[in-house]
């Protein structure tokens, strides 16, 4: 309030000098509080005795011990490995393949690109519900094949405890591979055409040009795509809820659905917080090396 | 200046709208609930009308979603910020949880004036009281251990009534299966698996065993041979359901019985609402029969817990609301709409259907015999983390080829882990 004493022009100059900081400050403060503040708070909750309501009593590592003794958490972690691994690899392969095919200067590329990208515009809830209907043996694909006369056709992954998690992979890949394609397509377009022409001159075949020149030169995009896909995998929640509801039983539980169940349905805030911290650690394990390499790379270039 | 004041005032008014009382202090009650559709919504509207007819001001706070999970999350934040609603739809041991936090109001003076001790069944009083004081009011009694059967399908294998023992149940189901009829309509969701499980525990183990195993969590009962036979029976039932059961909602399973696609469903009496809504007549179009047990009766009671509020108008509103909820008029209206029976005994059941009358008669018999027990699957018997641990094992067993021995040892482990 001391500024009210000074002259008006002085004040304007001051404001202008700090304008950028002032504009950023609210969102900075909000994210500092709502993101990092609550991460710290959740971190503390994981060490507390909280059950129904948050309490501050120290429980040490007890909540983590209980978490790792729970059969259901092991199922969730195993599912995350299956789901995350298959989801990332399949999305990369399909996305890369689509991008390379689209890159062949074909007709109607714009229309095709839109079609492949569209699933990304849907919410995971919609994707989950649609695939639930498609994969339901009594309703979707299997019953359609039976109606066509192929009565021995069997596709019951959705209702099979051992296979349910793979249906989540199918739906997630369908949704995200178009997005990966767009990333690769942009990168492919950025490759220096002169090098490719030079390779042609030297008589290199098309596959050899792709594997020898283009794909190595877009390597950074792989890293970006993996980071985006990995965090999609770790935080996926709505897709599982809509598609399988975590079932049959809890066979397709993921860490996010586990956390929700514990914290909001079972009055186990402490265990829920501990599982949330484990998820954070998983994401950090992926993001931190990535950021590190990015920042170092930036320094080198600068 | 004026504009700023208006903006401020609007802000305050919006935040205060939920709790504000007007100049003359009329009894006010804010009610947090998740009864937002169908018969339940109508029932809440009936309560609101009654409350307003008595000069009260009803502040509705419906939070739909997740079967109450969303409402519970709202409740937590409201209590933590010191602004609890007057009445909250809460049930079972969750009431004790909140009472332990010192968040619930004492209703003893209303209880005495209205003579609740005389009309509410003692087992339900226990749920509504914390250290001897009434802190919540019951609105209904749902029975969980029902078999809903399709008489036309039963007749095809020569049966005229639902089975009376679990052996009969298996024999009948085998016959149905041989005749190409799906014996059991079931929805593969954890709570539905648990519903079937607890009726089997009640039937094969008897009321005393049920009390020991699923209420007291007695370790010897949990790892007993009886528990193994319960899981054996669950495995048999797994063979009686159709292939597409995982994830199916309970009302779709009920529809299967109604439409003649399956012969029987084990489900609480909210299923009756589906039959009645479709214009079916009990005894003729469908059979309601208790699952095999010796005078057992598993109750699932919805209730409203009364939270500490400040201000005369709010305290008065809360008491008026409590009085109305336990009153005969609301109990009758609500339960006719919801398919359950009144939580106070002695309300005339003339307007109710035969299943409801059977429910009350069985209730009285079960009370005599000591078989009137809280449902585990519906959060009446155990706190959420304990019942959750049991449900996890039950549903994992039902949806895999786990052996009964392993299920029992996992059950003991899970309960122990959840206990500490």
pLDDT tens digits, residue range A251-263? 889 999 999 988 8
Lowest pLDDT segment from A141-155, B45-59, B260-274, B288-302: A141-155
What average pLDDT does range B280-292 have in this prediction? 91
Number of domains chain B is built from: 2
pLDDT at B238 over 90: yes
Distance from CA of A160 to the nearest CA of B (A): 8
Q: For residue B15, is it within any domain?
A: no
Which residue segment(s) compose the domain that B341 sits in? 28-142+300-355
Across the interface, whether the CB atoms of A136 and B72 are under 8 A apart is answered no
Residues B260 and B402 in one domain: yes
Asked whether this complex has an ipTM greater than 0.85, the answer is no
Residue A182 DSSP SS3 = helix
| Nearest CA among A124, A93, A72 for reference residue A236 | A124
The string of pLDDT tens digits covering residues A112-158 is 888 888 888 888 899 999 998 888 887 788 888 888 888 888 888 88
pLDDT at A106 over 60: yes
pLDDT at B18 over 50: no
d(CA A214, CA A232): 27
Dihedral through CA B343, CA B96, CA B145, CA B350, nearest 10?
Answer: 0
pLDDT band with cut points at 50, 70 and 90 for residue A301: very low
What average pLDDT does range B191-220 have in this prediction? 93
Residues B164 and B36 in one domain: no
Q: Which residue of A has its CA nearest to B396?
A: A249
Residue with the bigger pLDDT between A232 and B40: it is A232
What average pLDDT does range B98-109 have in this prediction? 89
Residues in B touching A164 (Cβ below 8 Å): 246
Q: How many C-beta neighbours within 10 Å does residue A34 have?
A: 10
pLDDT at B351 over 50: yes
What average pLDDT does range B203-232 have in this prediction? 93
The reported pLDDT for the residue numbered A55 is: 83
What average pLDDT does range A282-298 have in this prediction? 80
pLDDT at B139 over 80: yes
CA dist A262 → B89, B115, B388 (Å):
21, 39, 9
Q: For residue B222, is it within any domain?
A: yes
Looking at residue B176, which CATH number applies to its domain? 3.40.190.10
d(CA A177, CA A82): 17
Closest partner residue to B244 (CB to CB) among A159, A161, A264 is: A159
What average pLDDT does range A16-43 have in this prediction? 89
d(CA A39, CA A96): 35
The reported pLDDT for the residue numbered B258 is: 93
The reported pLDDT for the residue numbered B25 is: 67
Residues B239 and B386 in one domain: yes
pTM assigned to the model: 0.82
pLDDT band with cut points at 50, 70 and 90 for residue A208: confident
Across the interface, whether the CB atoms of A159 and B245 are under 8 A apart is answered yes
For residue B336 the two structure tokens come to 């006719």
Interface mutation target, options A267, A274, A275, chain B, most CBs of B under 10 Å: A267
CA A264 to chain centre: 23
What average pLDDT does range B356-382 have in this prediction? 91
pLDDT at B213 over 50: yes
Residues in B touching A133 (Cβ below 8 Å): none
pLDDT at A160 over 50: yes
Residue with the bigger pLDDT between A247 and B143: it is B143
For residue B233, what are the contacts with CB-CB under 8 A and spacing of at least 6?
A: B166, B170, B200, B204
Residues B280 and B388 in one domain: yes
The reported pLDDT for the residue numbered B66 is: 61
Residues B136 and B149 in one domain: no
Residue A48 DSSP SS3 = strand
Question: Would you list the domain boundaries of chain A?
Answer: 70-301
Q: For residue B192, is it within any domain?
A: yes
Residues of A with CB under 8 A from a CB of B: 51-54, 66, 69-72, 132, 136-139, 156, 158-159, 161, 164, 244-245, 247-251, 261, 264-268
Helices (H), A148-254: 164-189, 193-201, 206-209, 215-217, 219-235, 238-243
Residues B151 and B257 in one domain: yes
Three-state SS sequence of B117-145:
HHHCCHHHHHHHEECCEECEEECCEEECC
Across the interface, whether the CB atoms of B188 and A248 are under 8 A apart is answered yes
Residue with the bigger pLDDT between B65 and A146: it is A146
Closest partner residue to A53 (CB to CB) among B69, B80, B400 is: B80
Across the interface, whether the CB atoms of A137 and B243 are under 8 A apart is answered yes
The reported pLDDT for the residue numbered A302 is: 37
Residues B217 and B347 in one domain: no
Arithmetic mean of pLDDT over chain A: 86
Residues B128 and B173 in one domain: no
- pLDDT > 70 fraction of chain A, expressed in percent and rounded: 96
Q: How many C-beta neighbours within 10 Å does residue B159 have?
A: 19
d(CA A266, CA B415): 13
Q: For residue B279, is it within any domain?
A: yes
Residues B171 and B291 in one domain: yes
The reported pLDDT for the residue numbered A11 is: 84
The string of pLDDT tens digits covering residues B145-175 is 999 999 999 999 988 889 999 999 999 999 9
For residue A126, what are the contacts with CB-CB under 8 A and spacing of at least 6?
A: A242
For residue B144, what are the contacts with CB-CB under 8 A and spacing of at least 6?
A: B195, B198, B199, B268, B298, B299, B300, B375, B377, B378
The reported pLDDT for the residue numbered A298 is: 54
Q: For residue B21, is it within any domain?
A: no
pLDDT at A218 over 80: yes
Residues B380 and B413 in one domain: yes
Interface mutation target, options A45, A136, A266, chain B, most CBs of B under 10 Å: A266
- pLDDT > 90 fraction of chain B, expressed in percent and rounded: 52
pLDDT band with cut points at 50, 70 and 90 for residue B13: very low
The reported pLDDT for the residue numbered B264 is: 94
d(CA B79, CA B60): 17
The answer to whether A272 and A76 are in contact (CB under 8 A) is no
Domain boundary among B327, B355, B383: B355
Residue A78 DSSP SS3 = helix
Domain boundary among B313, B334, B355: B355
Arithmetic mean of pLDDT over chain B: 88
The reported pLDDT for the residue numbered A297 is: 63
Does B392 reach chain A within 8 Å, measured CB to CB?
Answer: yes
Residues B137 and B258 in one domain: no
Residues B242 and B390 in one domain: yes
| Architecture of the domain whose range is A70-301 | Orthogonal Bundle (1.10)
């Amino acid at each position: 309030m001391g500024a009210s004493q000074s002259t008006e022009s002085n004040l304007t100059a001051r404001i202008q000098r700090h304008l950028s900081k002032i504009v950023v400050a609210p969102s900075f403060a909000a994210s500092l509080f709502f993101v990092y503040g609550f991460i710290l708070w959740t971190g503390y909750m994981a060490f507390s005795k909280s059950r129904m309501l948050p309490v501050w009593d120290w429980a040490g590592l007890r909540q983590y011990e209980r978490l790792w003794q729970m059969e259901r958490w092991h199922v969730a972690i195993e599912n995350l490995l299956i789901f995350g691994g298959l989801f990332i690899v399949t999305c990369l392969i399909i996305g890369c393949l689509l991008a390379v095919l689209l890159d062949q200067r074909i007709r109607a590329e714009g229309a095709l690109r839109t079609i492949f990208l569209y699933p990304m515009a849907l919410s995971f809830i919609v994707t989950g519900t649609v695939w639930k209907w498609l994969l339901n043996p009594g309703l979707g694909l299997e019953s359609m094949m039976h109606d066509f006369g192929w009565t021995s056709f069997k596709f019951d992954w959705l209702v099979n405890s051992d296979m349910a998690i793979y249906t989540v992979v199918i739906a997630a890949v369908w949704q995200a591979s178009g997005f990966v394609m767009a990333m690769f397509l942009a990168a492919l377009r950025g490759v220096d055409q002169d090098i490719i022409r030079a390779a042609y001159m030297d008589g290199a075949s098309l596959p050899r040009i792709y594997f020898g020149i283009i794909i190595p030169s877009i390597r950074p995009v792989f890293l970006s795509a993996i980071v985006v896909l990995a965090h999609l995998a770790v935080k996926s929640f709505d897709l599982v809820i809509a598609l399988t509801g975590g079932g049959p039983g809890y066979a397709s539980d993921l860490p996010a659905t586990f956390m929700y169940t514990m914290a909001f349905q079972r009055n186990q805030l402490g265990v829920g917080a501990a599982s949330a911290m484990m998820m954070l650690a998983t994401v950090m394990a992926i993001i931190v090396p990535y950021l590190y390499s990015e920042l170092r790379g930036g320094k080198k270039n600068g | 200046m004026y504009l700023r004041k208006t903006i401020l005032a609007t802000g305050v008014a919006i935040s205060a709208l939920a709790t504000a009382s007007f100049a003359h202090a009329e009894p006010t009650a804010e009610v947090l609930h998740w009864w937002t559709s169908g018969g339940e919504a109508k029932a809440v509207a009936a309560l609101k009308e009654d409350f307003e007819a008595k000069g009260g001001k009803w502040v509705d706070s419906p939070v739909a979603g997740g079967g109450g999970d969303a409402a519970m999350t709202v409740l937590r934040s409201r209590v933590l910020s010191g602004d609890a609603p007057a009445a909250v739809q809460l049930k079972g041991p969750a009431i004790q949880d909140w009472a332990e936090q010192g968040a619930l109001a004492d209703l003893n003076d209303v209880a005495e004036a209205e003579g609740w001790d005389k009309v509410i069944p003692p087992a339900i009083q226990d749920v509504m009281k914390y250290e001897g004081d009434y802190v919540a009011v019951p609105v209904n009694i749902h029975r969980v251990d029902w078999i809903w059967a399709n008489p036309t399908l039963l007749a095809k294998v020569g049966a005229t009534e639902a089975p009376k023992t679990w052996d009969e149940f298996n024999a009948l189901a085998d016959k149905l299966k041989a005749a190409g009829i799906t014996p059991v309509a079931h929805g593969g969701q954890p709570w539905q698996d648990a519903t079937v499980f607890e009726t089997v525990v009640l039937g094969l183990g008897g009321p005393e065993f049920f009390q020991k195993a699923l209420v007291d969590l007695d370790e010897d009962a949990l790892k007993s041979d009886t528990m193994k036979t319960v899981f054996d029976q669950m495995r048999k039932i797994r063979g009686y359901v159709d292939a597409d059961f995982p994830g199916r909602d309970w009302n779709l399973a009920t529809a299967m019985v109604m439409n003649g696609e399956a012969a029987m469903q084990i489900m609480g009496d909210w299923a009756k609402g589906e039959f009645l809504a479709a214009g079916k007549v009990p005894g003729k179009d469908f059979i309601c029969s208790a699952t095999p047990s010796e005078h057992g009766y598993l109750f699932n009671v919805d209730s409203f817990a009364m939270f500490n509020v400040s201000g005369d108008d709010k305290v008065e509103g809360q008491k008026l609301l409590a009085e109305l909820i336990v009153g005969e008029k609301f109990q009758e209206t609500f339960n006719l709409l919801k398919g359950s029976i009144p939580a106070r005994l002695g309300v005339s059941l003339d307007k109710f259907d035969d299943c409801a009358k059977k429910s009350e008669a069985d209730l009285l018999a079960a009370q005599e015999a000591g078989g009137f027990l809280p449902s585990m699957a519906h959060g009446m018997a155990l706190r959420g983390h304990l019942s959750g641990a049991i449900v996890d094992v039950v549903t994992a067993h039902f949806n895999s080829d786990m052996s009964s021995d392993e299920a029992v040892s996992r059950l003991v482990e899970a309960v122990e882990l959840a206990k500490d």
